[in-house]
């Protein structure tokens, strides 16, 4: 007869060997009952079935059978029964949990509401993900084909967004960026769980007229073009008999390279450095200055004196301070970030008021705004109740925001 430790090790080995099939059966039953009926099978019934499947006649009664408990290999058999019991209970619990969390109707729209893979989000510092355009850029049915140069430039596009955005939101943002940057007539974007974007696009419908706002007129004048002028800048055009304010639509210079820099898309978002892809800052194309011609969008009444003038002087106007960007910079300097979360149904915050949630003390974040189907609530009161589908805008350290996101979801 072997020693007791050897008998126990032999029992563990025998339990794992004979417990695989009962564990699979327990997982299947736990998942199936929970998924289809919402009912959990009692653990005792799972144990009896598992032990019976393992070949011990009578299930748990084997533990009370003197021929088993008093036999020479009793430690081995008892240990094996306990291992089979533990495996079956664990498998049943995991199957029951998966059955409770699995979506009842799996559809493409549900998948699009999910965020990207967490390991992908960690590839970019600050909890952000990089979206790359992969594959060939397709033409949109019913539109003229894209030019080869434009197709190549779109294929090299690369953007960075917050990692907590849903896939559907990422698709909308990438499409808007492509539409704005390349002046596309139409574009559709599909992003997979790895952040790879497939793009179908239509070429620009028009040039200058599309960039002129409704109710405005575009007028071109010869002028001394300031250095660093970019599309969208506010300027004052001074002629002999009028001063007109307008928005720069385009500008050309006597230097052909300056014109190329103003009208070309932004520079590629990355360059190869020692075999590694490194980010490059993206700047709006600007002029280098000098004699040239400027086209500005002005009101209809202001267009007449500019049309009569042979030349104008250009004065660049300040557009004012963008307070929202200053707030973002201030938060980043203090180690804070802000994110948007969607309250999941039956989550810890579903049906809970902000006062009861006490996010600042409990989770270390501050809730600045809540968006409900009825509208926005900025700086909401403690009596505001959250519900599934509400969007919460919170500020706090990145690690606290990650933990709070798990509670919300």
DSSP letters for 105-146: S--HHHHHTS---HHHHTTBTTTEEEEEE-SPPEEPTTSPPP
Q: What is the pLDDT of residue 299?
A: 92
Let me know if 98 is exposed, middle or buried by CB neighbors in 10 A (0-12, 13-18, 19+).
middle
Q: How far apart are CA 18 and CA 79, in angstroms?
A: 12
Closest CA to 174 of 162, 158, 156: 158
Q: Which of 101, 130, 149 is the last residue of a domain?
A: 101
Q: 389: domain CATH number?
A: 3.30.70.1450
For 233, other C-beta atoms within 10 Å of its C-beta total: 20
Q: Which of 202, 228, 243 is the last residue of a domain?
A: 202
For 285-310, b/e burial (b = at least 16 CB within 10 A) is bbbbbeebebbbbbeeebbebbeebe
Q: CB–CB of 58/83 below 8 Å?
A: no
Q: How far is the CA of 260 from the CAs of 148, 163, 183, 339, 362, in angstroms?
A: 18, 35, 16, 38, 55
Q: Which of 282, 316, 350 is the last residue of a domain?
A: 316
Q: How far apart are CA 337 and CA 163, in angstroms?
A: 12
| Residue 256, H or E segment | helix 256-263
Q: How far apart are CA 222 and CA 252, in angstroms?
A: 10
Tokens 């002129």, residue?
A: 212
Whether 335 and 383 map to the same domain: the answer is yes
64 is a domain residue: yes
94 is a domain residue: yes
Whether 268 and 345 map to the same domain: the answer is no
Q: What is the pLDDT of residue 313?
A: 93
Closest CA to 53 of 90, 82, 22: 22
Q: What is the pLDDT of residue 224?
A: 92
Whether 218 and 282 map to the same domain: the answer is yes
Backbone angles phi, psi at 134, to 5 degrees: -120, 160
| Assigned token pair, 84 | 């089979």
Q: Chunk the chain into consecutive blocks of 10 residues (it has 409) and report each block's average pLDDT, rounded to whole numbers.
A: 69 69 77 70 71 54 54 68 78 73 53 55 61 88 85 88 78 87 86 84 77 86 89 90 90 62 42 40 68 91 90 85 68 81 86 88 89 87 89 89 85
Going 15 to 21 to 22 to 23, the CA torsion angle's sign is positive
| Assigned token pair, 58 | 């009578």
Whether 182 and 166 map to the same domain: the answer is yes
How far is residue 372 CA from its own chain's centroid?
A: 20
Single pTM value for the model: 0.41
Q: How many domains does the chain have?
A: 4
Task: Quote the DSSP letter at residue 65.
Answer: -
207 is a domain residue: no
Whether 42 and 63 map to the same domain: the answer is yes
Whether 191 and 226 map to the same domain: the answer is no
Whether 248 and 342 map to the same domain: the answer is no
Cβ neighbours of residue 42 under 8 Å, at least 6 residues apart? Answer: none
Q: How far apart are CA 6 and CA 74, in angstroms?
A: 12
Q: How far apart are CA 276 and CA 79, in angstroms?
A: 55
Whether 97 and 14 map to the same domain: the answer is yes
What is the domain extent for residue 381? 324-408
The torsion defined by the Cα of 177, 178, 182 and 188, in degrees rounded to 10, comes to: -140
**β-strand pairing of 366-372 with 375-378:** antiparallel
As a whole number of Å, the CA-based R_g of the chain is 33
Please give the full DSSP string across 193-219, using - where no structure is assigned: TTSEEEEEEE--S-SHHHHSPTT-EEE
Whether 161 and 177 map to the same domain: the answer is yes
Q: What is the pLDDT of residue 257?
A: 54
Q: What is the pLDDT of residue 260?
A: 46
Whether 377 and 331 map to the same domain: the answer is yes
Q: How far apart are the two ends of the chain, measured CA to CA in Å?
A: 56
| Residue 350, H or E segment | none
Whether 346 and 379 map to the same domain: the answer is yes
Whether 347 and 309 map to the same domain: the answer is no
56 is a domain residue: yes
């Amino acid at each position: 007869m072997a020693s007791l430790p050897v008998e126990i090790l032999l029992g563990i080995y025998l339990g794992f060997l004979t417990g695989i099939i009962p564990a699979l059966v327990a997982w299947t039953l736990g998942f199936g009952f929970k998924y289809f009926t919402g009912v959990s099978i009692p653990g005792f019934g799972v144990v009896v079935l598992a032990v019976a499947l393992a070949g011990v006649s009578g299930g748990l009664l084997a533990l009370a059978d003197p021929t088993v408990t008093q036999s020479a290999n009793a430690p081995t058999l008892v240990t094996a029964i306990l291992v089979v019991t533990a495996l079956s209970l664990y498998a049943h619990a995991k199957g029951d949990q998966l059955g409770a969390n699995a979506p009842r109707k799996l559809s493409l729209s549900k998948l699009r509401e999910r965020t990207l893979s967490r390991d992908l989000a960690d590839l970019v510092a600050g909890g952000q993900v990089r979206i790359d355009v992969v594959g060939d850029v397709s033409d949109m049915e019913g539109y003229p084909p894209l030019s080869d140069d434009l197709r190549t430039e779109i294929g090299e596009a690369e953007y960075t967004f917050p990692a907590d955005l849903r896939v559907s939101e990422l698709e909308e943002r990438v499409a808007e960026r492509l539409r704005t940057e390349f002046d596309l007539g139409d574009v559709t974007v599909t992003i997979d769980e790895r952040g790879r974007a497939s793009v179908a696009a239509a070429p620009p419908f028009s040039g200058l007229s599309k960039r002129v706002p409704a109710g405005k007129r575009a007028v071109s004048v010869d002028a001394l073009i300031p250095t660093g002028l970019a599309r969208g800048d506010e300027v004052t055009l001074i002629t002999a008999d009028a001063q007109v304010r307008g928005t720069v639509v385009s500008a050309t210079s006597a230097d052909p390279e300056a014109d190329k820099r103003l009208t070309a898309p932004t520079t590629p978002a990355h360059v190869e450095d020692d075999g590694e892809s490194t980010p490059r800052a993206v700047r709006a194309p600007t002029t280098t200055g000098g004699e040239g011609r400027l086209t500005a969008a002005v009101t209809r009444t202001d267009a007449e004196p500019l049309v009569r003038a042979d030349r104008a002087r250009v004065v660049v106007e300040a557009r004012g301070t963008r307070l929202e960007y200053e707030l973002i910079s201030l938060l980043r300097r203090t180690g804070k970030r802000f994110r948007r979360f969607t309250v999941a149904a039956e989550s810890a915050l579903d049906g809970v008021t902000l006062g009861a949630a006490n996010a600042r003390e409990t989770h270390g974040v501050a809730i600045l705004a809540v968006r409900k189907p009825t509208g926005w609530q900025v700086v909401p009161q403690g009596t505001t109740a959250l519900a599934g589908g509400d969007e919460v805008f919170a500020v706090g350290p990145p690690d606290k925001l990650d933990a709070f996101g798990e509670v919300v979801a």
